[in-house]
Amino acid sequence: GAAKLAKAETFVLTTPLYYVNAPPHMGSAYSTIAADAIARFQRLLEKKVIFVTGTDEHGEKIAAAAAANGSSPSDHCNTVSLAYRLLWKELDISYDKFIRTTDPSHEAVVKEFYSRVLSSGDIYRADYEGLYCINCEEYKDEKELLENNCCPMHLKPCVKRKEDNYFFALSKYQKSLEELLACNVNFVQPSFRLNEVQSWIKSGLRDFSISRASVEWGIPVPNDGRQTVYVWFDALLGYVSALLKEGEEPTLDNAVSSGWPASLHLIGKDILRFHAVYWPAMLMSAGLTLPKMVFGHGFLTKDGMKMGKSLGNTLEPKDLVNRFGADAVRYFFLREVEFGNDGDFSEDRFINIVNAHLANTIGNLLNRTLGLLKKNCQSILAYDSVTAAEGNPFKETVENLVEKARFHYENLSLSSACESVLDIGNAGNLYIDEHAPWSLFKQGGPGSETAKKDLVIILEAMRIIAVALSPIAPRLCLRIYLQLGYSKDQFEVVTWSDIKWGGLRSGQVMAEPKPVFARIENKKETEDG
Ligand code: ME8
């Protein structure tokens, strides 16, 4: 029935739940910006979206960070978790749920989950000795380590640990995981990461320890108060507990019926093993449905090294937003980094791209068209956009590019989606230069009728750009909509179906032309002359 259909349409999308050992940096912001663009696109398609983000607050690394600050773990977590929420606000992140793994309802869900896995017979007690990387919060194989047992990601030596722990019988799921990946080739994305996951599994899955005797800052293991639940066995469940509704009894069943399974876990490639191997096995053990897809994107790098809290080589997203605005930051990283691959940041490149695409291709085109309309038509459209474009191949060009953009968004090729939308702007610039409506207006008579149509055509293309680019640069697109004479309320209910050519009507009054995107001054260029 209708309820079932509505449920099928729910799109649950998650970002990683970020460690609160340090405030957010550009890498954390990158995953979240990408997820936000995907969430906004899905909403344009009129799906019910539940966009989950949050913070991962337990474990040894967090406790150590709190101690180093001289604060209690919970004060420390409150401060840093808030910093994430504040940054998400500045970046226009439209999340629906923000889960903190220290929420009591989450703890209840973890305990219930643990008990289910225990009753499946997948938890046992054993001694373990191995090399532990605190920054990864993971036991490592000696084979994967550098000299002096250094972790290849964090370049810090792993420590020898011996513990009496509870173990999860991951090895029991070897076959089921192999089948999952064989039958469901889209489970791991981009597809070039599938091989990597398959070869981990093929090399033989080993049971892993899911409790810590040495760590106090965590959720107590049910039936054994002397151990806490391993931070990954705890945090992954945040994707489920996030779905609980306000005030609802915190049970697994309630969380599941509110939207589980996730349609997409968006993560960095560093935590692919947890999401594509450990997590599905854990869910199978507890009898829960698996997520539909795990997408592991690449790293933002600085000097070739992963930018991160542990290495301290980060870029401050706050600074970038303060200097350039949220739209520029969002646009740059989504356009510049092919989604799935690594990408490097350079300030020159940032300024050049954002100026060329947002200020010139889009902003200038809109501004000069509105200028001409003001001068020659008192800012009033003389034709319906459908009539204006009759028999004009430009309309088809725009329609083809819109289809491409949609295809790329659906395939999470965010950079290509940006490119297709920008190509509408390029086509518009070419069109206006070739048709030169300013000189047609001078001719008067039929010439100025043609020119009036040309302006409507360009502005209709602008309207379409404003819808199609809104997942990436929402504020800029709102400003375009306002310039085209619409209200904020009208922009907020726009859907992908509004992209259809024909929105602008004769008689519609455009706003006073005003730049929608301020060109960024490149200080270095100015200094260099
Ligand atoms: O791993 N480039 O949290 P975390 C791109 N708490 N993305 C980056 C990045 C970079 N340089 N650095 C970090 C954790 N990220 C766990 C997750 S999930 C249940 C628990 C992004 O704060 C990327 O998405 O270390 C990466 O996977 C995530 O931040 C890790 O964040």
Determine the residue type at 27: G
Tokens 């940096």 map to which residue? 25
Average pLDDT for 216-225: 95
Using the predicted structure, report yes or no on whether residue 9 has a pLDDT greater than 80: no
Q: Which residues of 321-343 are buried (b: 16+ CB within 10 A; e: fewer)?
A: beebbbbbbbbbbbbbbebbeeb
Cα–Cα distance, 345 to 333 (Å, whole number): 8
Cβ neighbour number for residue 372 with a 10 Å cutoff: 20
Tokens 């922009």 map to which residue? 491
293 C-alpha vs ligand 1 centroid, how far in Å?
A: 17
pLDDT (tens digit, 9 = 90+) per residue, 61-110? Answer: 999 999 999 999 999 999 999 999 999 999 999 999 999 999 999 999 99
**Is 266 touching ligand 1 by the criterion CB < 6 Å?**
no
pLDDT reported for residue 252 = 97
**Is 16 touching ligand 1 by the criterion CB < 6 Å?**
yes
Average pLDDT for 438-462: 97
Using the predicted structure, report yes or no on whether residue 353 has a pLDDT greater than 80: yes
Cα–Cα distance, 332 to 353 (Å, whole number): 7
pLDDT (tens digit, 9 = 90+) per residue, 75-87? Answer: 999 999 999 999 9
Q: Given pLDDT bands bounded at 50, 70 and 90, which one contains residue 359?
A: very high
260 C-alpha vs ligand 1 centroid, how far in Å?
A: 22
pLDDT reported for residue 524 = 66
Phi, psi dihedral angles at 142 (to 5 degrees): -55, -35
**Is 308 touching ligand 1 by the criterion CB < 6 Å?**
yes
CA 55, 61, 66, 72: dihedral to nearest 10 degrees? Answer: 80
Atom 11, ligand 1: which residue's CA is nearest?
307
**Is 345 touching ligand 1 by the criterion CB < 6 Å?**
no
Cα–Cα distance, 306 to 342 (Å, whole number): 9
Q: Which atom of ligand 1 is nearest to the CA of 307?
A: 11
Tokens 């306002």 map to which residue? 482
Cα–Cα distance, 394 to 458 (Å, whole number): 9
Atom 31, ligand 1: which residue's CA is nearest?
18
How many helices (H) and strands (E) the chain has is answered by 24, 16
Which of 383, 398, 292, 401 is closest to 42 using CA atoms?
292
Average pLDDT for 294-315: 84
CA 172, 196, 113, 159: dihedral to nearest 10 degrees? Answer: 90
Atom 7, ligand 1: which residue's CA is nearest?
27
Helix runs in 219-346, H state only:
231-235, 238-241, 252-257, 272-273, 279-286, 317-324, 326-336
Q: Which atom of ligand 1 is nearest to the CA of 310?
A: 25
pLDDT (tens digit, 9 = 90+) per residue, 465-517? Answer: 999 999 999 999 999 999 999 999 999 999 999 999 999 999 999 999 999 99
Atom 12, ligand 1: which residue's CA is nearest?
27
240 C-alpha vs ligand 1 centroid, how far in Å?
A: 19
111 C-alpha vs ligand 1 centroid, how far in Å?
A: 25
Cα–Cα distance, 334 to 31 (Å, whole number): 10
Cα–Cα distance, 5 to 24 (Å, whole number): 38
pLDDT reported for residue 305 = 79
Cα–Cα distance, 273 to 413 (Å, whole number): 22
Atom 19, ligand 1: which residue's CA is nearest?
236
Q: How many CA atoms lie within 13 A of 212 on its CB side?
A: 23
Atom 24, ligand 1: which residue's CA is nearest?
268
Tokens 């001068």 map to which residue? 375
Using the predicted structure, report yes or no on whether residue 7 has a pLDDT greater than 70: no
Atom 8, ligand 1: which residue's CA is nearest?
27
**Is 235 touching ligand 1 by the criterion CB < 6 Å?**
yes
118 C-alpha vs ligand 1 centroid, how far in Å?
A: 29
CA distances from residue 143 to 150, 276, 306, 438 in whole angstroms, order as listed = 11, 21, 21, 70
**Is 408 touching ligand 1 by the criterion CB < 6 Å?**
no
CA distances from residue 378 to 451, 452, 510, 514 in whole angstroms, order as listed = 14, 11, 9, 15
Question: What percentage of residues in the chain have a pLDDT greater than 90?
Answer: 85
pLDDT reported for residue 526 = 53
pLDDT reported for residue 161 = 84
**Is 27 touching ligand 1 by the criterion CB < 6 Å?**
yes
3-class state of residue 57 by DSSP: coil
**Is 300 touching ligand 1 by the criterion CB < 6 Å?**
yes
* Cis peptide leading into residue 261 (ω within 30°): yes
Strands (E), 2-156: 11-19, 49-56, 97-100, 123-133, 138-140
Q: Given pLDDT bands bounded at 50, 70 and 90, which one contains residue 142?
A: confident
Average pLDDT of the chain is 94
Structure tokens that stand for 506 in this block: 């004769």
Q: Angle at which helices 414-435 and 326-336 pack, to 10 degrees?
A: 100
**Is 137 touching ligand 1 by the criterion CB < 6 Å?**
no
**Is 17 touching ligand 1 by the criterion CB < 6 Å?**
yes
pLDDT reported for residue 125 = 95
Q: What is the pTM of this model?
A: 0.94
CA 179, 181, 182, 188: dihedral to nearest 10 degrees? Answer: 170
Atom 15, ligand 1: which residue's CA is nearest?
27
Using the predicted structure, report yes or no on whether residue 528 has a pLDDT greater than 80: no
Tokens 């306000």 map to which residue? 246
Cα–Cα distance, 100 to 94 (Å, whole number): 17
Of 237 and 308, the structure prediction assigns the larger pLDDT to 237
Q: Which residues of 497-522 are buried (b: 16+ CB within 10 A; e: fewer)?
A: ebbebebbeeebebeebeebbeebee
17 C-alpha vs ligand 1 centroid, how far in Å?
A: 8
Which of 311, 342, 339 is closest to 408 using CA atoms?
339
pLDDT (tens digit, 9 = 90+) per residue, 394-403? Answer: 999 999 999 9
pLDDT reported for residue 522 = 84
**Is 56 touching ligand 1 by the criterion CB < 6 Å?**
yes
Cβ neighbour number for residue 119 with a 10 Å cutoff: 12
What contacts 349, CB < 8 A, 6 or more positions away? 336
Interface predicted TM-score (ipTM): 0.99
Using the predicted structure, report yes or no on whether residue 53 has a pLDDT greater than 50: yes
Atom 26, ligand 1: which residue's CA is nearest?
268
- Choosing from 13, 267, 414 the residue with most ligand 1 atoms within 8 A of its CB, the one to mutate for a pocket test is 267
CA distances from residue 196 to 193, 298, 338 in whole angstroms, order as listed = 5, 14, 19
